[in-house]
Amino acid sequence: MRAVAGDAAGASHAAQSLRQLLGPDAFRAADIHRGDWALPCGEVVDHPRFPWRGVLLDVARHFQPKAAVLRFLDLMAAHKLNVLHLHLTDDQGWRLEVPAYPRLTEVGAWRKGSWTGRQVDGDPTHDGRPHGGFYTTADLREIVAYARARHITVVPEVDVPGHSQAAIAAYPELGATGAPVEVWHAWGVSEHVLAPSRHVIDFYKTVIDHVVDVFDSPVVCLGGDEVPTKQWRPDQAAALGLDSVDAIPGWFLRELSAHVAAHGRRTLGWDDVMDHEGLVPGVVIGSWRGEESGVAAALAGHDVVMCPEQHVYLDHRQSDHPDEPVPVGYLRTLADVYAYEPVPDALPEDAHHRVLGAQAQIWTEHLDSPRRVDYAAFPRLAAFAEVVWTPRARRDPAGFAARLVEHHLPRLDALGVEYRPPGGPRPWQTRPGVPGRQR
């Protein structure tokens, strides 16, 4: 047996391929020291199609404990995925310890409950179960090192200027109104946004200083998605030399991405940032609202990560089975995910290189435990992993479906992954009496 690789990541991929060839027992930690392994004869020549084979894990809506994140990194490595985008801050929780601002986690990491009602029902009720948690700096350094040892880059996200109610709950002067608010217990998009002030920029520069100290990723995500403007006043925009409040999100991005750049890192922004004038050159665009913004960004000379919600949002429900547990709006089957093509048809060939790759997104409003994350992620993440690894011409839906059942689900069983079985939902996922939740 001989493995030859171009770099250390390649050697690690080769080791994963060998593990796959050894059979499912090679994925069971207790069996790995067995002596009688046999490999079939053959030659594997392989390399990944895209450099960015990512997964977003939302640890803000429901905190995922450190052990769950480390396990998730092992699962990513087993699927040769190499970017973990950690969504660390949102209206419902701030999960990143920042020594200069202890209230971000003392206050911002905790909420009094989680929404159980439906968004359409108006005033949200919550389940009365306090929820929270955060990663210490030591936790995050451990996560980054663990990822690095598996050739995975952890991309941190600090979302501004919307999705910031937890930060405002901790430090009300960060908010556009200055009024006290609680960490939000509802889902959706909070109207509480950051104040367009020097104080807020300086505060977030200090946060970014800490983030770049802890995370070694060449890219830092500043979010920028879904920003309500109703709390901002025209005179605040004018004071910044802007025509209207609609330009304030772009101002935030310019100010803070310059600080990210001063640290020698690049900013990733959700495609909403393209709605504003003066987009900073070099910002990487996460194309989530569809493919069109990814095409526009690539044509404008931006690198893009394709993560359109119509294809790779793994919080969407997996089937129309009546017991399917996660009633987030849309149906996204395993076959749908396998059929996704990261390079949009509308993108001219000379801009294909702008597509760094794609990213599956696991938002956790409805995933309140690592078990539920397992269920949402797998086996769709295995389909996604093949999409970002395999050349388009070699993709084979029928072959994937057969290999999944014969070879891969047994590996996931050995790893203890509670994936969605092909036959229907797992019984423990169904909770009678809980009204259907929606985003």
226 lies in the binding site for ligand ACM (CB under 6 A): yes
Q: Which residue is nearest to ligand ACM (CB)?
A: 225
CB of 279 vs ligand ACM, minimal distance in Å: 17
Pairing of strands 83-87, 52-58: parallel
Smallest gap from Cβ 268 to ligand ACM, in A, equals 11
Determine the longest span between alpha carbons in the chain, in angstroms. Answer: 75
Residue 220 CA, chain-centre distance (Å), reads: 13
Alpha helices in 223-324 (DSSP H): 234-239, 248-262, 292-299, 309-312
In terms of Cα–Cα distance, which of 408, 386, 388 is closest to 397? 386
Q: What is the DSSP letter of 240?
A: T
Q: Does 182 bind ligand ACM (CB under 6 A)?
A: no
Name which of 13 and 62 has its Cβ closer to ligand ACM. 62
Q: Secondary structure of 372-395 in the HEC alphabet?
A: HHHHHHCCHHHHHHHHHHCCHHHC
Q: Which is nearer to ligand ACM, 97 or 157 (CB)?
A: 157
| Residue 124 identity (one-letter amino acid) | P
282: which 2 tokens? Answer: 């070099």
| Residue 41 C-beta: closest distance to ligand ACM, Å | 46
Q: Which of 226, 275, 336, 368 is catalytic?
A: 226
Q: Are 283 and 302 in contact (CB under 8 A)?
A: yes
Q: With respect to ligand ACM, which residue has the nearer C-beta, 25 or 225?
A: 225
Q: Is 259 a catalytic residue?
A: no
CB 96 within 8 A of CB 166: no
**Which residue of 101, 215, 270, 340 would you call a contact of ligand ACM, by CB under 6 A?**
270
Q: Scanning residues 312 to 351, which ones bind ligand ACM (CB under 6 A)?
A: none
Q: Which residues contact 62 (CB under 8 A, 6 or more apart)?
A: 114, 131, 364, 365, 367, 368, 369
CA distance 337 to 334: 5
Active-site entry in 163, 210, 311, 316: 163
Helix 137-149 × helix 66-78 angle, to 10°: 10
Catalytic residue status for 407: no
Q: How far apart are CB 190 and ligand ACM at their closest, in Å? A: 13
Active-site position among 13, 87, 90, 316: 90
* Phi, psi dihedrals of residue 167, rounded to the nearest 5°: -65, -40
Give the Cβ contact number of residue 352 at 10 Å: 12
Residue 86 C-beta: closest distance to ligand ACM, Å: 14
Minimum Å gap between C-beta 272 and ligand ACM is 8
Does position 275 interact with ligand ACM (CB under 6 A)? The reply is no
- Report the residue number, 49 or 439, with the smaller CB distance to ligand ACM: 439
Element (H, E) at 57: strand 52-58
- The answer to whether 226 is a known catalytic residue is yes
Shortest distance (Å) from residue 271 CB to ligand ACM: 8
How many residues bind ligand ACM (CB under 6 A)? The answer is 4
Q: Which of 184, 288, 375, 419 binds ligand ACM (CB under 6 A)?
A: 288
CA separation for the pair 314, 331 (Å, rounded): 10
Q: Which is nearer to ligand ACM, 304 or 404 (CB)?
A: 304
Within positions 366 to 385, which residues make up the interface with ligand ACM, using CB under 6 A?
none
Task: Out of 209, 216, 225, 413, name the contact with ligand ACM by CB under 6 A.
Answer: 225
| Residues with a known catalytic role | 90, 163, 226
- Residue ranges that bind ligand ACM, judged by CB under 6 A: 225-226, 270, 288
